[in-house]
Structures are given as C-alpha cells and as structure tokens.
Amino acid sequence: MTEAGVNRQLGAASTKISHEFSVSQMGRVTLEAMSSMTLLVVSNPSAPYLKWLRELPTDVNYVVGNTVETLSTVADSADAILYCMGPGIPLKTVWDLAPRVQWVHSLSAGLESILFPALAESTVPMTNGRGVFKESLGEFVVASILHFAKDLRRMVRNQEAGRWEQFDVEMVAGKTLGIIGYGEIGRAAAVRAHALGMKIHVIRRRPQLSEEDPIVEKSFTTAQRGEMMAGVDYLLVAAPLTGETKGLVGAAELARLQPNAVVMNVGRGPVIDEAALVEALRSGAIKGAALDVFDKEPLPDGHAFYGLENVLLSPHCADHTATWTDEAMQFFLGNLQRFQGGQPLLNLVDKKSGY
C-alpha cells in the first residue's frame, strides 16, 4: 500500500504524523489490517512522544487523532483508549464513541479534569501515569528545602549586586518534613529528605500502612492534620485533587504552622486554599512556599505569587525532564503488554475516589 493510501484511511489528523513512520509501520493501522486489538490514541498528532507507537506489537491497530472525525473511523471496534496530554477533545466524548472499550489509560497522573461519572461507575479498568514522574518531583522537593534552608535567593541577589554579605544558614538534618499525600511522589520525596537526616511525618487515610515503613517516624489521619502541621518545619502537599482534598489546607491549617515553616505543593493547586496561602506569606505567618501547581494555570499575569520573594515558583514543570514523556509512554507500553496477556494492570485507578 502507498503512503497516500494509508493517509486516506487514517484521516487528516493522522496524516500529520505519517512522515515519522514508515509505510510498513503505518500499514498495520489501516482498517483492512485490523486483527486482535484496536487502540484509540487521543493526542495531538504531531506530539514527539508518539514515536513510541513504533514499539507497539504488530497485532495492535491504532489511530491517532484529536478530533471526532478521525477517531470515529474505528472507534466502534476499539478495545482500549490511550488519552494523552492536551488532546483538545474530552475523554467522555471519546468514550461515547467507543462502546467496546475494555481499558482506558491516561498518560498523565491527574484525573480531576477527565474522569466522569459513566467511566467511574463502569467496570472498565482505568490506569494512569501515577508515579512515573516521582523521582524528578522528589528532587524538586529537596531542592526547595535547600533553597530556603540556605537562603539561595539571598546569595544570588548579593552576587548580582556585587555585595559580600555573610549570614547564617540552616541545617536540614534534624528538621521535620510533614507530607500530606504519602503516595508515590510523597515517598520519593521522603526517601531523599530522610537521607539528609530529616524526620518524616505523614498523613494518610490508613496510618497503619506506615507502621512498617522504616523512614516514617509518625503517621497521622487526615483529621489529625492540624496536629501534624504544628510540629513540622517543612510541609509537602502531594495529594491528588478530589472532593475530599480540595481546600484541605486552609487558613486554619496554615495557622497551625510555625513561623519558620515552608509549604511545598507538587500535587494539585486547589488542595491548598490559595488566598489563605498568599495571606500567610504576605504577613510573615510562615517563612515561604515552593509551588509547582496552582489554582489556575498558566498563573495569571499580576498574580501575587510573582511578586513575593518568599515564594519559589515553578510553572508546573518540576517533572519536565528531557525524557518525561518517553517514560510515560514506556510505562503505557508495559501495561499494554499486561493487558494483552491477561495480567493485572499496574496503576489501577480507584475511580470512586478519583485517584
């Protein structure tokens, strides 16, 4: 079959990626070649990470697109959906097109904007990229801790001004890191902080799960979060956004922190009451904050966070390593092998809880 023939069958959106794949590689996507499995890849067709589709088994037929017109060509026979970042079409729309789907995978970890009731209530398993980016986020947390402990902003400011000004810095050994959301990311940060000599306190729905964790000194329930926060030097929020976690850290919780405390958020912005955090930072009620996520992204022009020197601001890119999308695709490919082989899927989402 000619490349033109392949393009006619794939539709305009898939035509955009035709130059990244040979005709033989793309040929298995055609309707005539369908055999054992059909995959809908909901993505911008020009996304670089789509190169990993070359690694799909030859018996997997797939169509890439971010429009109903493209995806509907094979949606009625689709067995699985790979939903990628920023596709421009809601997952529910794709779901409604594909009545036979037996598995849905989200390339990213966050589900609050894509999970919908029909999927949540169905028996179809959903998996996500949870934990794929935990190592880089764990490093960002440690970098944030050191940023404030050593007052790196002051060092840079003095260097730029040509000013020799000695001052005292803090040791992090012996300090306490409290973690709300002790999942993959929370533990990756805890491992690194513990290696620096920090004490680890965590909040989780089932504190008993930490009883045999060698790096956790104390474990608290969500209801005990005020008690935990009163005793920490650094607070890490790494929780997903659900109905239960939205606004979990508000003015009352922030008021329990010590004046030298630093708040870090690598989970989801709305887990912390943003207005309350701004007030705590402006008033000096807490020492500072390191933030990778926000209520609204991109952060609007003129937002208070931009002007606060006690804020370390990352534009939601603390996990954007050179290979982050590659790692996410590699994880998906491993799960696809499990799906085809009838093995348990990794990163199964608790759809009722939302993570």
Q: Is position 346 within any domain?
A: no
Q: Among 28-42, 69-83, 248-262, name the one with the lowest average pLDDT.
A: 28-42
Residues 95 and 178 in one domain: no
Residues 78 and 222 in one domain: no
Q: Which of 27-41, 104-118, 288-302 has the highest average model confidence (pLDDT)? A: 288-302
Residues 149 and 289 in one domain: yes
Residues 191 and 203 in one domain: yes
The pLDDT tens digits of the residues spanning 296-323 come to 999 999 999 999 999 999 999 999 999 9
Q: Is position 352 within any domain?
A: no
Q: Is position 349 within any domain?
A: no
Q: Among 20-24, 79-83, 272-276, name the one with the lowest average pLDDT.
A: 20-24
Residues 106 and 222 in one domain: no
Looking at residue 150, which CATH number applies to its domain?
3.40.50.720
Residues 89 and 233 in one domain: no
Please give the single-letter amino acid code of residue 348: L
Residues 28 and 113 in one domain: yes
Listed in sequence order, the residues at least 6 apart from 273 whose beta carbon sits closer than 8 Å to its beta carbon are 247, 249, 250, 251, 254
Q: What pLDDT shows up at residue 208?
A: 81
Q: Among 129-133, 155-159, 313-317, name the one with the lowest average pLDDT.
A: 129-133
Residues 332 and 233 in one domain: no
Q: Is position 280 within any domain?
A: yes
Q: Is position 347 within any domain?
A: no
Round to whole Å and give the CA distance between 273 and 82.
33
> Which range of residues forms the domain containing residue 40?
3-132+323-341
Q: Is position 187 within any domain?
A: yes
Please, which pLDDT band fits residue 13 given cuts at 50, 70 and 90? very low
Enclosing H/E stretch for 35: none
Domain count, the chain: 2
Q: What pLDDT shows up at residue 87?
A: 66
Q: Is position 119 within any domain?
A: yes
Residues 124 and 212 in one domain: no
Residues 111 and 144 in one domain: no
List the catalytic residues. Answer: 268, 297, 316
Residues 188 and 103 in one domain: no
Residues 145 and 270 in one domain: yes
The pLDDT tens digits of the residues spanning 74-101 come to 999 999 999 997 767 999 999 999 999 9
